[in-house]
Amino acid sequence: MTNSFALAAAAVIVLATSSVAEAKIECRDGFQIVNGQEISTPYCNDGLIAKVAREHGMNVSEDNVRNNPSTKNEVCRFVGDDIRIQNYCNDTDQGRDQGE
């Protein structure tokens, strides 16, 4: 009886954990997809910055760009003129005269 109860409890736990949806942020071209709509978020912007940097030969992860402002500044100085990320690098000091 105890074995069948343990087996039933294990089955319930497996079914409960397998039916839980995996919460993952979906990004497309620097925009977060929420209910089918694109929303510009810093999380997805930084992911795109890292992707573009890797395409230009930099070895940088999305987490490193998100969590290390110095890395983001370095990446923006290196590839900040790429049209895909220009708007996302505006808040960093790229070492250029911005006309301000």
Q: What is d(CA 50, CA 84) in angstroms, rounded to the nearest whole number? A: 11
pLDDT digits (tens, 9 = 90+) for 29-86: 999 999 999 999 999 999 999 999 999 999 999 999 999 999 999 999 999 999 999 9
The pTM score is 0.69
Q: Which residues make Cβ contacts (< 8 Å) with residue 62, sequence separation at least 6? A: 46, 47, 50, 51
| Tens of pLDDT, residues 70-92 | 999 999 999 999 999 999 997 65
**Would you say 88 and 45 are in contact if contact means Cβ atoms under 8 Å apart?**
yes
CA gap 92, 12 in Å, rounded: 51
Domain ranges of the chain: 24-100
Give Rg (Cα) of the chain. Answer: 21
Please answer whether residues 4 and 22 qualify as being in contact, where contact means their C-beta atoms are separated by less than 8 angstroms: no
